[in-house]
């Protein structure tokens, strides 16, 4: 662990940034941490030191960033985003799942030309839907892509937190039957989140992980790019053993197969499509070949340069790789 980084101080900065965003927004929609400061900092310290749960801290920070970006044009916006980016850079230095380079076999890497789909019209938002198998660093790829493009990142944890925040703001004494309109809770949650996904895609640029977002947006005629990320089972097992608490290889293999089966059933049930079928995506990536940075670069090559955020991201990569600029 980087000895120059004071983890407790870093956790405090994250908590304080959340409080500043909440104050600037004046709404609980901007609040990620609801507990007292010491308890929240203690929880973040645990996440910083555990590879398995690094995704939870990434989601918390992404939600803070999403809310801060909504203040664009306000006096507080620039200072909040500077603070957010500084925190993100420090977190990437931690030797956990938050900033790791992921699984990679550089000997197999071959970059292929990708022809961007010309499906976006002026006024459309850049919407990137990423489906991924557990253990392939897909969430890290999605988060790093969103950060490079400076657009919002959403995963199931963020969507559920936003749903909960909205529910707390409008809390009433309705029964679950009324709250879910008579539907099973899982179905009601799917339809609620589907509506949320459509609303987000119509108003902002974003990266969204899973949630059948590609099928939901296709049905609504909303332009998007669909990506599927996976890796060979052996690589996924190795990754899960490294980042998880269970060190029994047979148990991990069984868990991965069960998760894949659940994903296939869930996706088929709500979309009628086949999860992981290459014909259903614009780009399928073996992250064991490209790694996180390579996968991000590959996706970036697929995106239309009609979007300013894409042009700026490509320019940043070129500047960072040019010795004359450093």
CB 127 within 8 A of CB 224: yes
Q: In this structure, which long-range contacts are made by residues 188-194, counting pairs with CB atoms below 8 Å and at least 24 apart in sequence?
A: 189/163, 190/270, 192/163, 193/159, 193/163
Contact 140, 292 (CB under 8 A): yes
Q: Which two tokens stand for residue 7?
A: 């983890």
CB-based contacts of 186, cutoff 8 Å, min separation 6: none
Per-residue pLDDT 10s for the chain (326 aa) are 444 678 889 999 999 999 998 888 875 455 677 778 888 888 888 877 766 566 677 778 888 888 888 888 899 999 999 999 999 888 877 765 554 445 544 444 333 333 445 788 899 999 999 999 999 999 999 999 999 999 999 998 888 776 665 555 454 444 444 454 556 777 878 888 888 999 999 999 999 999 999 999 988 889 999 999 999 999 999 988 887 777 889 999 999 999 999 999 999 988 888 999 988 899 999 999 999 999 999 999 989 999 999 999 999 988 887 665 55
DSSP category for residue 132: E
Q: CA-based diameter of the chain, in Å?
A: 64
Element (H, E) at 228: strand 225-230
* Cα–Cα distance, 235 to 239 (Å, whole number): 6
Residue found under tokens 């097992």? 237
Query: Residue 93 in contact with residue 5, Cβ under 8 Å?
Result: yes
**Best CA proximity match to 296, nearest among 151, 79, 198, 124:** 151
CATH topology of domain 113-325: Rossmann fold (3.40.50)
Predicted local distance difference test score (pLDDT) of residue 191 = 84
The C-alpha angle 239, 241, 243, rounded to 5 degrees, equals 65
DSSP 129: E
For residues 116 and 299, the answer to whether their CB atoms sit within 8 Å is no
- CB under 8 Å to 81, separation ≥6 — which residues? 65, 68, 69
- Alpha-carbon Rg for the chain, nearest whole angstrom, is 20
Cα distance between residue 16 and residue 33, in whole Å: 10
Report the pLDDT value the prediction gives residue 117, as an integer from 0 to 100: 52
Q: Would you say 299 and 147 are in contact if contact means Cβ atoms under 8 Å apart?
A: no
- Positive or negative: CA dihedral 155, 158, 161, 162: negative
Residue 35 CA, chain-centre distance (Å), reads: 24
How is the chain split into domains, by residue range?
3-102, 113-325
């Amino acid at each position: 662990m980087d000895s120059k980084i004071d983890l407790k101080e870093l956790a405090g900065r994250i908590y304080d940034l959340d409080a500043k965003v909440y104050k600037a927004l004046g709404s609980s929609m901007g609040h990620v941490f609801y507990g007292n400061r010491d308890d929240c900092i203690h929880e973040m310290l645990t996440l910083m030191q555990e590879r398995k749960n690094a995704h939870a801290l990434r989601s918390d920070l992404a939600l803070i960033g999403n809310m801060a970006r909504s203040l664009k044009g306000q006096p507080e916006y620039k200072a909040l985003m500077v603070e957010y980016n500084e925190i993100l850079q420090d977190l990437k230095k931690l030797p956990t799942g938050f900033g790791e380079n992921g699984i990679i076999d550089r000997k197999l890497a071959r970059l292929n030309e990708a022809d961007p789909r010309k499906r976006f019209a002026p006024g459309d938002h850049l919407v990137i839907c990423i489906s991924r198998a557990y253990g392939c660093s897909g969430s890290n790829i999605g988060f790093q892509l969103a950060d490079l493009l400076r657009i919002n990142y959403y995963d199931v944890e963020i969507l559920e937190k936003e749903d909960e925040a909205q529910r707390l703001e409008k809390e009433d004494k309705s029964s679950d039957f009324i709250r879910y309109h008579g539907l099973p809770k899982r179905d009601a949650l799917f339809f609620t989140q589907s509506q949320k996904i459509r609303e987000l895609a119509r108003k902002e640029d974003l990266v969204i992980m899973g949630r059948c977002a590609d099928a939901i947006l296709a049905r609504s005629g909303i332009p998007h790019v669909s990506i599927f990320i996976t890796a060979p089972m052996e690589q996924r097992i190795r990754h899960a053993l490294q980042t998880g608490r269970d060190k029994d290889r047979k148990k991990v293999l069984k868990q991965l197969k069960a998760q894949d089966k659940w994903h296939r059933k869930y996706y088929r049930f709500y979309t009628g499509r086949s999860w992981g079928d290459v014909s259903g995506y614009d780009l399928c990536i073996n992250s064991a070949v490209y790694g996180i940075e390579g996968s991000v670069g590959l996706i970036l090559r697929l995106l239309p340069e009609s979007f300013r955020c894409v042009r700026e991201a490509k320019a940043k990569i070129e500047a960072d790789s040019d010795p004359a600029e450093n």
